[in-house]
Amino acid sequence: MNKLIVLSGHSGGGKTSLMRQIMKNEVVSFTTRSPRKGEIDGVDYKFISLEKFKELKEQGKLIEQVEYSGHYYGIDQEEFENKMSLGNAFVIVDYHGMQQIKKFYSNCVTLFLYTSYDQAYKQMVERGDALEKVEQRLSTYHEEIGNRKNYDYVIRNNNSMFSVTKEIIEKILESEHLKLDESGRINKIE
- pLDDT for residue 43 is more than 60: yes
Q: From CA 32, how far away is CA 30, in angstroms rounded? A: 7
pLDDT by residue (tens digit) across 96-147?
A: 999 999 999 999 999 999 999 998 888 888 888 888 888 888 888 899 999 9
Residue 83 belongs to a domain = yes
What pLDDT shows up at residue 101?
Answer: 96
Domain assignment of residue 76, yes or no: yes
Q: In this predicted structure, what is the pLDDT of residue 37?
A: 82
Give the model's pLDDT for residue 69: 77
> 10 falls in which pLDDT band (50, 70, 90)?
confident
Tell me the whole-structure pTM to 2 decimals: 0.86
Q: What is the pLDDT of residue 190?
A: 43
Residue 190 inside a domain? The answer is no
CATH of the domain at 10: 3.40.50.300
Q: Average per-residue pLDDT in the chain? A: 89
Parallel, antiparallel, or unpaired: how do β-strands 89-92 and 71-76 relate? unpaired
Look up the domain containing 170 and give its range. Answer: 4-184
* Total number of domains constituting the chain: 1
pLDDT for res 145: 93
Query: What is the pLDDT, as a whole number, of residue 187?
Result: 55
